Structure 1
Amino acid sequence: MLQADPELAHDVLAWAEQTAPGPLHVEVAGTESHLVKALEQRGYTQAVDGPFMACLDLSLTELPDVAPLPDGYAIRAQHDDTDVAGRAAAHRAAFGSTRVTTERRARMRGTWPYRPELDLMMTAPAGDVVAYCQGWYDEVNATGASEPVGTRPDQRRQGLARAVCTAVLHAFARAGGRRAIVYSRGDAAYPVPERLYESMGFTAYTRTHTFVGRPTG
């Protein structure tokens, strides 16, 4: 919508400038030239250094099979409250964060456009969740996006993230998808996720840029 009516970008930025408590940091993709133009017109400056996201995509034709899993490991959707709690715990372990609680995960599962068949997790022999990939599907553009993806620190380097991400790609294809996208840190300070996606066949088509401005309210 913002691309169809660039003036809406100015309206959104004006609202943010009036309500923000401090300097605004706006992250846009390099392909969003209409947003870049609006930011520059409003006096925002582009940050030269710092983290950025690489925007990668992949055709959903001729996908590879999911690689064999270690004995006793399985990929599946969440079935019950215990799975929801395990998935939330795996996220906290993977990212060292306390934001994602069981209650928050349960609420998210009840919101549009969540689809349980696109939200896959991997369990270890004891049944605990050790890796996951959450997919979101855009039917209009036949495009699937993966966010978030994670593996418990003590379970890394076994190909678990690759396997569960590949399973989600197949789920996108079954839903009618033609393209998959993922955003990953692209700067040298955090290179591992982008290397994973590139090894799966994803290629970068643009990157994000951060623009900094000041609130006027």
Structure 2
Amino acid sequence: MENLGPTELRLMQGLAQEVTVLRPEPLNGDATVGELAWVWAKDFDALSPFWRHRLWFADGRLAAWGWAHLPYRAPRGDGTFRESRTANLLWQVHPDRVALLSDILDWYDDVAGGVDRLLTVQSADLHAQTTVAAHGYAFDAEVGSDDGPPWVQFNIRELTDVPDPVLPEEFRFLAAGDVPVAAAVKAHRDAWHPSSFTETAFERVRRTWPYRADLHVLVAAPDGTLAATAIIWLDESTQTAEFEPVGTHRDFRRRGLGTALQLHGMQMARSAGAKRMLVACLGAPAHAEARNMYHGVGFRALTRDLPQIKVAR
């Protein structure tokens, strides 16, 4: 299947909901409700020609899925390019259907062709680690090292005893509904420079379940600059919320805005019905700033990525 549309996305998010309830430890950090919504919506226009996916059903219900990102080269608005020369696999299986991972890996071999293949498994998912090794994958020591390129740590926090946020004088909290679309997009681009995020992409984000403008929170500086931004994805059925993405304008960092926005966002999520919060962050000790911020507001590590590579022969 080549056209990954809203219907297929919603099915994949439904499996994420089931895994979150049954056993969150093997829930892949790129396969959560919020992460799926964010990645699909923001990248659809630029990267969907390079996507392939397949869904596996059992007893009429989605039991597993694979989403392959093939090599690509796509322009950014500033004249630079986003590109990848490898294939990358996002995937998830139901905890009762773990044997389907072998089928996903066979399918991935077929669609990836003659390029290096990447994927991740979770440190808590011993079955997946054994399965990918049997299919020729090995731990990517360069990407997964303590001082190498970033890998992701998955964190969780129960939404009890959330302290009140404290902003610097004359800074204030806003929601996305309080600002023009162009301003919300600029806040993201300022926080994640260089960024290919566009107003068209944001419009798709806004139409993607479970986005809510009141849970897209921002911090405004005294001069009106949107200095920090975060989207909270609330899954009411599991009472779970997720931050994705979170970022601070490069001119306003190290002033406590990220911490304040996290605490404000958690209070907003709790008021909306969430009982727990998820967030992914860079996990390597050499990239400790974001992890320390999340741990400083009460998150704890749930699991971490173990990057895997299968070199093309």
Q: Is the 8 A contact 2:177 2:213 kept in 1?
A: no
Partner of 1:200: 297
Residue type of the alignment partner of 1:30: S
Secondary structure of 1:31's counterpart equals coil
Q: How many residues align?
A: 214
Corresponding residue for residue 65 of structure 1: 164
CA contact (8 A) 1:16 1:215 kept: no
Please tell me the residue identity of whatever aligns with 1:156: R
Identity %: 30
In the superposition, the TM-score normalised over structure 1's length comes to 0.90
Residues in 2 aligned to 1:53 and 1:207: alpha-carbon distance in whole angstroms? 6
Whether the 8 Å CA contact 2:177–2:214 is kept in 1: the answer is: no
Within the candidate set 264, 268, 279, 1:182 is matched to: 279
Q: In the alignment, does 2:195 pair up with 1:103?
A: no
Q: Could you say which residue in structure 1 is the equivalent of 2:104?
A: 12
Could you tell me which amino acid in structure 1 is paired with residue 161 of structure 2? E
| 1:56-135 map, 5 Å | 56-67=155-166, 69-79=167-177, 83-135=180-232
Query: Structure 1, residues 26-51: CA drift from partner, whole Å, max 9, x if none?
Result: 12221233322321221211122323
**Residue 34 of structure 1, aligned match among 124, 127, 136:** 127
Contact 1:18 1:215 in 2 (8 A): no
Q: Distance in 2 between matches of 1:175 and 1:11?
A: 39
CA distance in 1, matches of 2:274, 2:130: 32
Q: 1:13 to 1:160 in 2, by over 3 A?
A: same
> 1:162 corresponds to which residue?
259
Unaligned runs of 5+ in 1: none
Higher RCO (C-alpha 8 Å, min separation 6): 1
State the Cα deviation string for residues 6-64 of structure 1 (Å, max 9, x = none): 13322222222211252111122212333223212212111223232122211101111
Assess, with a 3 A threshold, how the Cα gap between structure 1 residues 114 and 204 changes in structure 2: closer, same or farther.
same
Query: Cα offset for 1:188?
Result: 2.6
Q: Secondary structure at the match of 2:234?
A: strand
RMSD: 1.9
User: Distance between the aligned counterparts of 2:163 and 2:226, measured in 1?
Assistant: 24
SS of 1:120's equivalent in the other structure is: strand
List, as ranges, runs of 4+ consecutive aligned residues in structure 1 with deviation greater than 4 Å.
none
Over 3 Å counting, the alpha-carbon distance change for 1:140 and 1:38 in structure 2 is farther
* TM-score after normalising by structure 2: 0.64
